Amino acid sequence: MERCEGKCVWYWYVVVVVLWVRSGTCQMKPKRAQVPHNHRHRLFLDLLSAALAPSPPPPSPAPS
């Protein structure tokens, strides 16, 4: 269980972040995607860098 614990925690952390990003972008943008792509991309990069800055991911193969 110890071996799975780290992976499971990281997996749920990623799931929560993804869901939060999706809900946030869905609330921000109108139903017709009129928000510029660069804004969404920058927002995602900001969230990603903020999420990775305090605790870098454990050594694992790069996501495909």
Question: Where in the sequence is the domain holding 3, given as residue range(s)?
Answer: 1-27+40-47
Identify the pLDDT of residue 32: 52
Tell me if 35 sits within 8 A of 29, measured CB to CB. yes
Whole-model pTM over 0.85: no
- The Cα 6–Cα 9 span in angstroms is 5
Residue at 64 is within a domain: no
Would you say residue 61 lies in a domain? no
Question: Tens place of pLDDT for every residue, the chain, 64 residues?
Answer: 455 667 778 888 888 888 887 777 655 555 555 555 556 667 777 777 777 665 555 566 655 5
What pLDDT is recorded for position 10? 82
63 belongs to a structural domain:
no
Q: Does a structural domain hold residue 55? A: no
32 domain residue, yes or no: no
Specify the residue for token string 């804004």.
39
> What's the pLDDT score for residue 5?
66
Q: Give the span between the Cα atoms of 22 and 19, in whole angstroms.
A: 5
Note whether residue 11 is domain-resident. yes
Number of domains in the chain: 1
